[in-house]
Amino acid sequence: MRNTAKITTAVLAAGALTLGLTACGAEDDKGSDTSGPLVVAASPVPHAEILDFVKDNLAKDAGLDLEVKEFTDYVTPNTATEDGSVDANYFQNQPYLDDFNKKKGTHIVPVVTVHLEPLGLYSNKAEKVGDLKSGATIAVPNDTVNEARALKLLDANGIITLKEGVGNEATPADIVKNPKKLEFKELEAAQTPRSLDDVDAAVINGNYAIESDLKPAEDALVLESATDNPYGNFLAVKEGNENDPRVKKLAKLLTSDEVKKFIEDTYAGSVVASF
């Protein structure tokens, strides 16, 4: 009787363990299901436009069900990717992502670099840099990386001089030479185009410039060089999802000849393919 009871108990325990493992397996399979649409968070211009081109012209033949969700800020696409509200995002560059992951504790990783949006200095009051008056106010993005990027653009064009060796955390406090005694107004990146009537000039991210009907290749007083530029924008996912077959399909499509031609034809040098 005792032996029988022990065997019965062991069998029941094993059965329970088997059911438990099966249930866990089912949950794991559900959690890693890649059969549904790939939902990608993106800035409206040019990211969502590029994704919409892929969706309308290339995705079906590649067997990819693509859904695009637009966001107008630089925070929500990453937090939504981290918490699984979306599967991927397309809006940012490596220095920005490194800073975001460090500060927010997120685990977002790049998959493939697609394009560069050159950062530019714009003005409604000056036709060239030399027209900027002493004491002029320049609006710059207020997030760490884009502010540093803006200041480095001004430094590269001889408008200011930054402390030697300053990196992606440069602020106006790192300016060692400021011959025009420029003053800086820190604004959310999306607000910089709207500030043009209130300041003497503004450093504006390429996507926001295009959304505001500015043409970076024509309208910028100075523009970032695309050569060896570290600020290429990429498709990104939460770490561990890089091998999702849907993500791999999209990565391949985003770096196709068709997308490169679309970028060249649509943005005429204001957005530059990085592949």
- Mean per-residue pLDDT for 83-98? 97
pLDDT in tens, 140-163: 999 999 999 999 999 999 999 999
- Which residue spans within the chain are E strands per DSSP? 38-42, 66-70, 88-92, 108-116, 120-122, 137-141, 161-162, 175-177, 183-187, 201-204, 222-223, 233-238, 272-273
Query: How large a percentage of the chain has pLDDT more than 70?
Result: 88
Fold of 120-223: D-Maltodextrin-Binding Protein; domain 2 (3.40.190)
Local structure of 163: helix, strand or coil: coil
pLDDT at site 14: 39
Using the predicted structure, report yes or no on whether residue 27 has a pLDDT greater than 90.
no
Sign for the CA dihedral angle at 154, 157, 161, 164 comes to: positive
Domain with CATH 3.40.190.10 in the chain: 38-118+230-273, 120-223
233-238, strands of its sheet edge to edge: 66-70, 38-42, 88-92, 233-238, 108-116, 272-273
Q: Which CATH architecture has domain 38-118+230-273?
A: 3-Layer(aba) Sandwich (3.40)
Global model pTM greater than 0.95: no
Min mean pLDDT across 22-26, 79-83, 208-212 is at: 22-26
Classify residue 272 by its DSSP letter.
E
pLDDT at site 33: 61
Mean pLDDT of the chain: 89
pLDDT at site 48: 98
Q: Both tokens of residue 13?
A: 């325990």
How does residue 268 score in pLDDT terms, banded at 50, 70 and 90?
A: confident
pLDDT in tens, 36-51: 999 999 999 999 999 9
pLDDT in tens, 165-212: 998 889 999 999 999 999 999 999 999 999 999 999 999 999 999 999
Using the predicted structure, report yes or no on whether residue 222 has a pLDDT greater than 90.
yes
pLDDT at site 35: 75
- Mean per-residue pLDDT for 133-138? 98
